[in-house]
Chain A
Amino acid sequence: MKAVGARLPRYDGVAHVTGRTQFVDDFRVPNMLWAKALRSPVDHAAIKKLDVKKAAAIKGVHAIVTWEDVPRLVYGHLEALGIPGDEPLLAKDEVRYKGQPIALVAAEDEDTAQLAVAEIQIDFDERPALFDIRKAADPDAPQAHHWGNWYPHFEAEMDVRQIRKGDIDRAFDQADTIVTGVYRPAAIEQLPLETQTALVVPEPSGRLTIYSCTQALYFSMGVVAAHLEWPLNKLKFVGGTVGGGFGGKVDTAAETVSALAALKSGLPVKWRWTREEEFLCSSTRAPWHMEIADAVTKDGWILGRRMLTLHDSGAFARFSPYGVTKHSFHHTGAYTIPNLHFDGYCVFTNRVPTTAMRGFGVTSVSFATELHVSRVAEVLGIDPFELRLKNANRIGDTSPNGIAYADPSTVPTIHAIADAIGHELPADYRTMNREARGGDLLPEHLVAQVGKVDH
């Protein structure tokens, strides 16, 4: 029997639907402590005083971890890709968003840990907070981040992700019509049923076994090892079966602080975020602000696109610069547009840091550019199927950053949908295919777009 192409049963499906699968919170070990976090109650403030002595004296409390216990306080998840670290594992002298972790208490039960959290003495000096990314570059904007209000460390220390292609001014001069619009998809929750949870067990060998719900075992192990300044052979990550992630569990959210609590107490520590923490303190999909101006001809060719993107990264960078770059690479969508002028900024605010979610960087730009293309079709009075087919990516067309498309399927997927809903197409649109351009489909403005496919 052929395995590939077969509708085989899911490897772990029966265990999942009968409740037998073991997730991190199903694991219990002897002498296990439970953890609760002190989190910032304010959006933006200096920390004037942090005193855990009274909380630590409570019966049943075994360890309280603060910034002082972290060997390497700041480590960027994507330092290997050149994105420097900016976020302390636990807040030191300031907080930049409501919900930011400041301390973790490990105690014999969750109630005791929560009581001790309430006894930690902390004073804040509140600062003005920034929330509207559109106002982040205003002269009187509150400062949300020590780098400034937008990310300044793209290649060559540029503070903007740029795409430039062709001659944008000429395209706008040549256009019969220019259509502009503004698109703003919302922040949403990844909403895994399993909240962020970690269990860390100190082993007699001196190693730590870390039960993790991460989407990336080795990646998260690298994050913990970096903060602890440990080699990988002292850590063992256990996981691989995750109760929903959708991008949010690319953040290594609970493992590192729990590991520090386990080391400080010498006992196993479990930290499981409440549903309320998952909603309010875990990272979200980012809100985006996108402005588009398309230069088009009256017969439906898209000659050029200007675009401004502001990405609401929240209080820290995390994966956001990566997301903005990915976004920029896909801002022409499934179409070939020869003249481009794209500026994307990764903007900081005093909200919970945003992170990856299904479609990271591109869900936003697909929404903006596709709705915009529908508007262009409406303004020009052209069938939206035909306008899309005409400008579709074809084999050999080049992407915004100059790579020839090897196997684009804009044309066949649109044909399939036209057939499915019974949308009739004129014969010349019906017979289009994805092969390299020629004839009427290779107008002068696209001649320079056809490149060599490089596998």
Chain B
Amino acid sequence: MAKHTGRGLAAIEYPTGMNQNGDPSQAWIKIKPDGRVDVFSGTSDIGNGSKTIQSQIVAETLGVPYEWITYDNSNTDSSPLCTGTFASRATFVAGNAVLKAAADAKQKLLEIAGKELEIAPEDLEIVDGEVLAKGSPQKKIGVPDVAAAATWVHGELITGTGAQLNPYAAIVDPETGRVDSPPHAAISYAACAAEVEVDDETGEVRVEHLWQCFDVGRAINPTLVEGQIQGGALMGLGLAVLEECYPYYPSVEHRGSEFGSYFVPGINELPKIDTIILENPSADGPYGAKGISEMANNPQPPAIASAVFDAIGVWVTELPITPERVLRALEQKARGPRRDGKWAIFDEDLSVNTVASKDSRFRFPVGA
């Protein structure tokens, strides 16, 4: 009876944007008479931070302070379409839409500024809320003054619109699954190592340490990216060792119906988490960003399950890895894979070949 420590590794990838694409986002921007910026986007912020990320993209693109941005995603009368906040698309797809809207507004702003400064718009840039002549930054006008001039002198409204649509990638051959164009906006990658402690008497698995590296393309806001990665780690830990709707799956009986009867990770389960952000910029993402929000809970379950094997020498392939499953696996430890010629066959008792009727459509060819 003892506690055993083990480590496991997982490496994963995940697509940005809806599978097969075809998921537009649109945005528009207007600039108030004092130069402050109103962004209208239909992206729901579900806690992912898209209000912040999209505001940062607009501030960067326009060259004005973040504090000047008002972000409005509150209703469908004023905001245009966003397909939605899912599929890791709010930074990449919707972020590209606000980037294009900001670039469009910037162009109109520079045209007004050019009239005020009597300099061609292409010879101007915007830095920290001021329009400067490239190479002669003493020739300048503040963005608030440009907006005022647009309103009161030129009779113009400075606006910008933008839309992002990666075209739908049709499955041209359903026999093979071949598609006619990339079925994703980008792909992100991650690797994770887990260290666990397993008590071979109680069967309890304690996740002690997670090391995680995510290729985010570009961290628009490193604090929010770390939040996604660390929050995702806790959800992945829940998937791995705690959570299940159906304790006797496939039976539907004895479902937990309250927080007291459904186990999610709490502060007591928080492991040490090391986060490494890798930036391999995406050619098409806003400032190189990719979407990593969903995949943040994907690498921990296999890394933790591999670490359990490293600790106690048994594979638990049903999630969550409960004490009951650990103890049952330890009881059956001697079994290992069945060898049949060059085949190493695991988990036969779980297979459709064992559970389903011999006449079932669901069979899996195993063995020599």
Contact = CB atoms under 8 A, between A and B. Distances in A.
Interface string B1-34: 0000001111111110001101000000000000
A29 to B, nearest CB: 15
Nearest to A362: B14
A442 interface: no
B85 A218 contact: no
A57 interface: no
A350 to B, nearest CB: 8
B360 to A, nearest CB: 4
A244 interface: yes
Given A137-B360, A181-B317, 7 more contacts: A131-B250, A184-B318, A308-B352, A350-B252, A393-B189, A416-B278, A420-B274
Contact of B364 (A291, A362, A401): A291
A328 B191 contact: no
B58 to A, nearest CB: 8
B107 interface: no
B193 A420 contact: yes
A11 B60 CA distance: 15
Interface string B53-91: 001110110000110000101111101011111110000
Contacts of A425: none
A179 interface: yes
A308 B362 contact: yes
Contacts of A349: 250
Interface residue tally on A, bucketed by range: 35 or more
Given A345-B362, A420-B211, A5 B220 contact: yes
A358 B257 CA distance: 21
Interface residue tally on B, bucketed by range: 35 or more
A247 B86 contact: yes
B148 interface: no
A296 to B, nearest CB: 10
A183 B319 CA distance: 8
A242 B44 contact: yes
Contacts of B56: 3-4, 6, 8
Contacts of B214: 413
A401 B43 contact: no
Contacts of B295: 359, 362, 366
A333 B12 contact: yes
Contacts of B235: 246, 358
Contacts of A403: 179, 181-183
Contacts of A14: none
Interface stretch (A58-66, A83-91, A373-381): A373-381
A112 to B, nearest CB: 24
B286 to A, nearest CB: 8
A238 B75 contact: yes
A73 to B, nearest CB: 24
A162 B258 contact: no
A4 B218 contact: yes
Contact of B178 (A181, A401, A413): A401
Interface in A394-417: 400-403, 405-410, 412-414, 416-417
A187 to B, nearest CB: 4
B218 A334 contact: no
A400 B177 contact: yes
Interface in B214-251: 214-215, 218-224, 232, 235, 238-239, 243-246, 249-251
A156 B296 CA distance: 35
A162 B76 contact: no
Given A249-B46, A276-B258, A374 B309 contact: yes
Interface in A109-161: 131-140, 154-156, 158, 161
Interface stretch (B115-123, B131-139, B343-351): B343-351
A348 interface: no
A254 B363 CA distance: 40
B213 interface: yes
17 contacts: A3-B56, A155-B174, A178-B342, A186-B318, A214-B44, A240-B75, A241-B45, A242-B44, A244-B46, A279-B245, A279-B262, A342-B177, A358-B235, A379-B337, A403-B179, A421-B211, A455-B284
A351 B245 CA distance: 11
A157 to B, nearest CB: 9
Contacts of A351: 246, 252
A98 B252 contact: yes
A371 interface: yes
| Most chain A CB neighbours (cut-off 10 Å) among B47, B251, B297 | B47
